Amino acid sequence: MRPSELAREEFVAAFGQVFEHSAWIAGRTWDKGLGPRQDSLQGLHDAFGEVIREAGRREQMALLQAHPELAAGEAEGEDLTPHSQDEQRGAGLDRCRPEEFAEFQRLNGTYRDTFGFPFIIAVKGLDRRQILETFRSRLRNTREAEFREALEQVIRIGYFRLKGIFPGGTGQP
């Protein structure tokens, strides 16, 4: 079945989990109207990105705050979604050395205190060292620049998650 042919409830059931605890994105994407373009990975991803970028600041902030902190799930019993758990494990964040774990914890606290939401990065294809380097670097951003970057990272994460739904990365689900 093509996404454009799904009823709203079916569409939200199929794609509501793509963005962390934010099924409203799938619902609003469906509400805007779906056509043949949204039956592809890139077309549907573009539609989701548009909904996120057009959302109000409060909704965007709630979307960012719905994300877990990096490397926190193991120690704090954070309730990671299956997607987040797989992504963090894939980047080796469940295998941090004690000093890496301590640095993640310190950076998580500093980042949240500075920006008001957790550090968000699409970890696919990155290792712990690269993630830590990016983490340190992004702490130097302004609040507004980091807010925009975090939203773009959420959209990028959505792409990788959608790619898992669309076999071969380009076809239909």
For residue range 77-113, what is the model confidence (pLDDT) as tens digits?
A: 456 566 666 666 665 666 778 888 889 899 999 999 9
Residue reference for tokens 């975090």: 150
For residue 89, the model assigns a pLDDT of 64
Neighbours of 113 (CB within 10 A): 8
Name the active-site residue from 21, 45, 67, 83.
67
Give start-end residues of each CATH 1.10.3330.10 domain in the chain: 3-62+164-169, 72-153
67 labelled catalytic: yes
- Single pTM value for the model: 0.86
Report in angstroms the alpha-carbon separations of 41 from 3, 21, 115. Answer: 10, 21, 31
- 51 Cβ contact partners less than 8 Å away, ≥ 6 residues apart: 25, 28, 29, 32
Quote helix, strand, coil % in the chain, to nearest 5.
Answer: 70, 0, 30
Neighbours of 165 (CB within 10 A): 16
For residue 138, the model assigns a pLDDT of 97
Instruction: State the amino acid at position 133 in one-letter form.
Output: E
Question: What 8-state DSSP symbol labels residue 18?
Answer: S
Q: How confident is the model at residue 172 (pLDDT cuts 50, 70, 90)?
A: very low
CATH architecture of 3-62+164-169: Orthogonal Bundle (1.10)
Topology of 72-153 in CATH?
UraD-like (1.10.3330)
Instruction: State the amino acid at position 81 in one-letter form.
Output: T
